[in-house]
Amino acid sequence: MRHRLKVKLLDPRLGREVPLPNYATEGSAGLDLRAMLDAPLDLAPGHCELIPTGLAVHIAAPGVAGMILPRSGLGHRHGIVLGNLVGLIDSDYQGPLMVSCWNRSNQPFRIEIGERIAQLVLVPILHADLEIVGSFETSARGEGGFGHTGTH
Ligand SMILES: O=c1ccn([C@H]2C[C@H](O)[C@@H](COP(=O)(O)OP(=O)(O)OP(=O)(O)O)O2)c(=O)[nH]1
Ligand SMILES: [Mg+2]
């Protein structure tokens, strides 16, 4: 499915020297987001920095949200993940889209200008209407959780 996403280019380099966010392949789920830094950033082990993507998005539909997720290569190979683990973008948010980059490794990591640091995934959202009940209908799991089904 497609969603028309309103985007403001806050950084004039986007779409010129640095490509606009795009899907790497037709089947990619995430739009790659780039680090719109003034200079390369050396992220020390254990440190976290808020990095501008150079854009603002307005999803504008309450039934859609954005999720910022790590890139698997950066996360697995270099320990570059997100300081908030997952970024959640509300459909009414219009401010600059920021990526919290956390170096969870024990090596410094250099983030280059325009480097693809994370990805934005649009997801459908259901809003809950709370229905207060005294008991639930029986389910197969009941209250069992946190390993209740065993490990094998
Ligand atoms: O990685 C992120 C996470 C959030 N945001 C923006 C969009 C989002 O809609 C807004 C608020 O995020 P969230 O609700 O997760 O943060 P909060 O700490 O609850 O702030 P608020 O009180 O503004 O809701 O911040 C980003 O730009 N990047
Ligand atoms: Mg919030």
Q: Could you tell which of 49, 88, 92, 94 is best to mutate to test the pocket of ligand 1, judged by most ligand atoms within 8 Å of the CB?
A: 88
The CA distances from residue 85 to 6, 11, 57, 142, in Å, are 25, 25, 20, 29
Position 95 scores a pLDDT of 98
Over the stretch 84-122, which tens digit does the pLDDT of each residue have? 999 999 999 999 999 999 999 999 999 999 999 999 999
Tens-digit pLDDT profile for residues 17-60: 999 999 999 999 999 999 999 999 999 999 999 999 999 999 99
Q: What is the pLDDT of residue 102?
A: 98
Q: Where are the domains of the chain?
A: 6-124
pLDDT of residue 151: 86
Ligand 1 probe mutation, 31, 91, 93, 100, most atoms within 8 A of CB? 93
With a threshold of 0.95, tell me whether the complex ipTM lies above it.
Answer: yes
Whether 152 has a pLDDT exceeding 90, the answer reads no
Tell me the CA–centroid distance for residue 5 and ligand 2, in Å.
21
Q: What atom in ligand 1 is closest to the CA of residue 87?
A: 1
Q: In the structure encoding, which two tokens stand for residue 146, read together? A: 């946190």
Per residue in 66-78, pLDDT tens?
999 999 999 999 9
Q: What is the pTM of this model?
A: 0.95
Is residue 124 scored above 90 in pLDDT? yes
- CATH number of the domain at 6-124, out of 3.40.50.300, 2.70.40.10, 1.20.950.20, 3.30.450.40? 2.70.40.10
Q: Is the CB of 87 under 6 A from ligand 1?
A: yes
DSSP state of 14: B
For CA atoms 37, 93, 30, 24, the dihedral sign is: negative
Q: Is 30 in the pocket of ligand 1 (CB under 6 A)?
A: no
